[in-house]
Chain A
Amino acid sequence: DTGVSQDPRHKITKRGQNVTFRCDPISEHNRLYWYRQTLGQGPEFLTYFQNEAQLEKSRLLSDRFSAERPKGSFSTLEIQRTEQGDSAMYLCASSLGTGGYTFGSGTRLTVV
Chain B
Amino acid sequence: AQKITQTQPGMFVQEKEAVTLDCTYDTSDQSYGLFWYKQPSSGEMIFLIYQGSYDEQNATEGRYSLNFQKARKSANLVISASQLGDSAMYFCAMREKNYGQNFVFGPGTRLSVLP
Contacts and interface: CB of A to CB of B under 8 A. Distances in A.
Interface string A44-66: 11001000000110100000000
Contact of B44 (A44, A56, A100, A103): A103
Interface residues of B, number: 21
Interface stretch (B64-72, B78-86, B96-104): B96-104
Given A100-B50, A105-B44, A42 B100 contact: no
Contact of A101 (B47, B104, B106): B47
Interface string A86-112: 000101010000101111111010000
B103 A43 contact: yes
A90 B87 CA distance: 22
Interface string B71-115: 000000000000000000001010000001111111110000000
Interface residues of A, number: 25
Contact of A42 (B43, B44, B91): B91
B105 A43 contact: yes
B43 A98 contact: no
A106 B44 contact: yes
Interface of B: 4, 35, 37, 42-47, 50, 91, 93, 100-108
